[in-house]
C-alpha cells in the first residue's frame, strides 16, 4: 500500500487553504464584533442572525465559484468526483490549519455530504427534478438538510414514526424529525418516512425518501436545539403536518429509503474522521508550543516527564488515527468492501480527538479552561462528534457483526 498523495491532490489542498487564509479568515476578522460572540451570533430563538446567514452564503458561493464547494460531489451530479484519499487529506489539512469554532469555515467552505452541496443522496432523485434544483445547490445559493432521526428513532432508524401515505400522484407526509442539522435554514429537505410499517417492523424495508421544499405548506421548524455549551446552532426539530410531495420527488424506489439514506454514510464518516484528525493535530501543536514556553519550578514544563508522557500519548493517538484513515480511504478508492473499517475509523478518530483535546487542556492548566485559545471549543466539539453519524456503540455493533459474519477483512 502506498499512501503517497499525487501532486494534484496536494495542490488542491493548498489552494483551499490559500482561499481560506486570504479571503475567509480576513472576512471573519472584519466581522469579529458579530461572529466573535454567541450573544451576537444567534437571535433569541437560537437561530443565526440574518447577517451571519448572509456571510455564510457569501463564503459558500465564493467557494463554489472557485470549484472547491463541489470538489467531492459525484461526477454524475456535476461535481469534481475526487475520491476518499483526496477528501480526507483536504479535510485534515483544513482543520489542522484553522482549528475549531470558525463559523465561516466549517461545513461552509466544504459542505457536509448530508447537508449542503451535491449530496450523494441526490443521485437517487429523478434526473428531471434534479435538473431544476442542481445549480442552486451546487452554487451554494441553496442549502439542504437530511431528515432521518426522530425523537424515538436515532440509532434504530426502523423505529421511526413519520408516515408517508400515497394519494394519487402525491404522498402525504406526517410526523416529526429531530436533531436535523441545518434544518432551521435549509431550502430543501431530504426526508425519510414509513411507507410500509409492517415491512419496517420486520426490518425488511418499508422506508422511502422524499425531496421536499421547506416552503411547502405543513413544513415547519418550530425549534432550534441548543447543543453542548451553545446559545443556538444549526440543529432543529422538523414538523411535517400533511406535507404533500409529488411522486416524482421521491428519492429512489419505494421501500428502499434506508439504502438511499446510507448512500453517503462512508463519505460522511470519513470526512468527520479526517476533520477530527486535523483538529487533534492542531491541539497537539498548541500543547507543544505552550509546553516549551510555560515554566514551573524554574524550567519549561516540556522538561517534566508527566508533560512529555501526555504529548507522547497524543502523538501515538494521532499517528494511529492517521494510519487507519489513510488505509480505509485507500480501500474505498480501491473499491473494497469497507463497512467494518469505516466504523472503526469513525469511532476511533472521534474518541481520539477527545483524548488529545483533554490532554492539551491539562497541559495548558488554567489557560486551557478559558476559551482564549479555543481549546474549550475544541473539547466541546470533540465530545459532540462521538454521537452524530452513528454513536461509538453503534459503530462497535457494526464492527462486531462484520466480524461474526466473516466480512471484516483485517
Beta strands in 130-288 (DSSP E): 144-147, 163-167, 170-181, 188-194, 207-213, 219-224, 235-246, 250-251
Please give the C-alpha separations between residue 103 and each of 22, 32, 35, 332, in angstroms, as whole numbers.
Answer: 16, 11, 7, 30
Question: Do 7-138 and 144-255 come out as alike in CATH topology?
Answer: no
Q: Which fold has domain 144-255?
A: Butyryl-CoA Dehydrogenase, subunit A; domain 2 (2.40.110)
Strand partners, 145: 189
Place of cell 464584533: 33
Class at the top of the CATH hierarchy for domain 7-138: mainly alpha
pLDDT at 129: 98
**Could you tell me which of 50, 354, 38 has the C-alpha nearest to residue 227?**
38
User: Residue 129 contacts by C-beta under 8 Å, 6 or more apart in sequence?
Assistant: 211, 248, 249
319, three cell numbers? 499517528
Q: Coil, helix or strand for 249?
A: helix
84 membership: H or E segment, kind and range: helix 84-98
User: Residue 66 contacts by C-beta under 8 Å, 6 or more apart in sequence?
Assistant: 15, 19
Instruction: Please give the Cα distance from 19 to 28 (Å, whole number).
Output: 13
Quick: pLDDT tens for 100-143.
978 999 889 999 877 899 999 999 999 999 999 999 999 999 99
- The one-digit pLDDT tens for each residue of the chain (410 residues) are 788 889 999 999 999 999 999 999 999 999 999 999 999 999 999 999 999 999 999 999 999 999 999 999 999 999 999 999 999 999 999 999 999 978 999 889 999 877 899 999 999 999 999 999 999 999 999 999 999 999 988 888 899 999 999 999 999 999 999 999 999 999 999 999 999 999 999 999 999 999 999 999 999 999 999 998 899 999 999 999 999 999 999 999 999 999 999 877 778 899 999 999 999 999 999 999 999 999 999 999 999 999 999 999 999 999 999 999 999 999 999 999 999 999 999 999 999 999 999 999 999 999 999 988 999 999 999 999 999 888 999 999 999 999 999 998 88
If phi over 0 gives left and psi between -120 and 50 gives alpha, with beta otherwise, what is residue 255?
left
CA atoms within 13 A on the CB side of 292: 6
Among the four given CATH numbers 1.20.140.10, 3.30.530.20, 3.40.50.2000, 3.30.450.40, the one describing domain 262-404 = 1.20.140.10
Find how far residue 129's CA is from the centre of its chain.
26
What is the pTM for the complete model shown? 0.94
pLDDT at 372: 87
pLDDT at 310: 98
Instruction: Please give the Cα distance from 238 to 236 (Å, whole number).
Output: 7
* Domain range summary for the chain, segments of one domain joined by +: 7-138, 144-255, 262-404
Please give the C-alpha separations between residue 207 and each of 4, 193, 248, in angstroms, as whole numbers.
Answer: 41, 5, 16
Q: Coil, helix or strand for 244?
A: strand
Contact 271, 91 (CB under 8 A): yes
Contact 85, 3 (CB under 8 A): yes
Instruction: Please give the Cα distance from 257 to 250 (Å, whole number).
Output: 9
Amino acid at each position: 500500500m502506498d499512501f503517497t498523495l499525487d501532486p494534484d491532490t496536494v495542490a488542491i489542498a493548498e489552494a483551499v487553504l490559500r482561499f481560506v487564509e486570504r479571503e475567509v479568515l480576513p472576512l471573519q476578522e472584519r466581522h469579529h464584533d458579530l461572529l466573535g460572540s454567541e450573544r451576537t451570533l444567534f437571535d433569541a430563538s437560537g437561530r443565526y442572525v440574518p447577517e451571519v446567514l448572509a456571510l455564510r452564503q457569501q463564503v459558500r458561493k465564493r467557494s463554489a465559484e472557485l470549484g472547491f464547494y463541489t470538489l467531492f460531489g459525484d461526477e454524475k451530479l456535476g461535481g469534481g468526483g475526487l475520491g476518499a484519499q483526496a477528501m480526507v487529506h483536504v479535510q485534515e489539512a483544513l482543520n489542522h490549519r484553522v482549528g475549531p469554532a470558525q463559523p465561516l469555515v466549517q461545513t461552509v467552505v466544504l459542505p457536509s455530504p448530508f447537508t449542503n452541496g451535491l449530496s450523494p443522496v441526490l443521485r437517487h432523485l429523478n434526473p428531471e427534478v434534479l435538473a431544476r434544483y442542481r445549480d442552486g445547490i451546487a452554487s451554494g445559493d441553496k442549502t439542504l438538510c437530511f431528515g432521518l432521526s426522530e425523537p424515538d428513532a436515532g440509532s434504530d432508524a426502523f423505529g421511526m414514526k413519520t408516515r408517508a401515505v400515497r394519494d394519487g400522484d402525491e404522498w402525504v407526509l406526517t410526523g416529526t424529525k429531530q436533531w436535523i442539522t441545518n434544518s432551521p435554514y435549509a431550502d430543501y429537505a431530504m426526508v425519510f418516512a414509513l411507507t410500509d410499517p409492517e415491512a419496517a417492523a420486520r426490518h425488511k424495508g418499508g422506508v422511502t425518501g422524499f425531496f421536499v421544499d421547506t416552503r411547502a405548506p405543513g413544513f415547519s421548524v418550530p425549534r432550534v436545539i441548543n447543543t453542548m455549551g451553545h446559545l443556538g446552532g444549526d440543529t432543529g426539530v422538523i414538523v411535517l403536518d400533511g406535507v404533500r410531495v409529488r411522486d416524482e420527488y421521491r428519492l429512489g424506489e419505494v421501500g428502499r429509503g434506508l439504502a438511499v439514506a446510507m448512500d453517503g454514510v462512508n463519505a460522511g464518516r470519513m470526512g468527520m474522521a479526517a476533520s477530527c484528525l486535523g483538529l487533534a493535530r492542531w491541539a497537539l501543536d498548541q500543547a507543544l508550543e505552550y509546553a516549551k514556553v510555560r515554566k514551573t519550578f524554574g524550567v519549561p514544563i516540556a522538561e517534566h516527564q508527566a508533560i512529555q508522557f501526555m504529548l507522547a500519548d497524543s502523538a501515538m493517538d494521532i499517528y494511529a488515527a492517521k494510519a487507519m484513515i489513510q488505509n480505509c480511504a485507500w480501500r474505498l478508492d480501491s473499491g473494497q468492501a469497507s463497512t467494518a473499517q469505516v466504523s472503526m475509523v469513525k469511532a476511533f478518530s472521534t474518541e481520539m480527538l477527545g483524548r488529545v483535546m483533554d490532554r492539551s487542556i491539562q497541559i495548558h492548566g488554567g489557560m486551557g479552561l478559558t476559551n482564549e485559545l479555543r481549546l474549550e471549543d475544541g473539547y466541546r466539539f470533540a465530545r459532540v462528534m462521538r454521537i452524530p453519524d452513528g454513536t461509538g456503540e453503534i459503530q462497535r455493533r457494526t464492527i462486531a457483526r462484520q466480524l461474526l459474519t466473516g466480512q471484516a477483512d483485517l
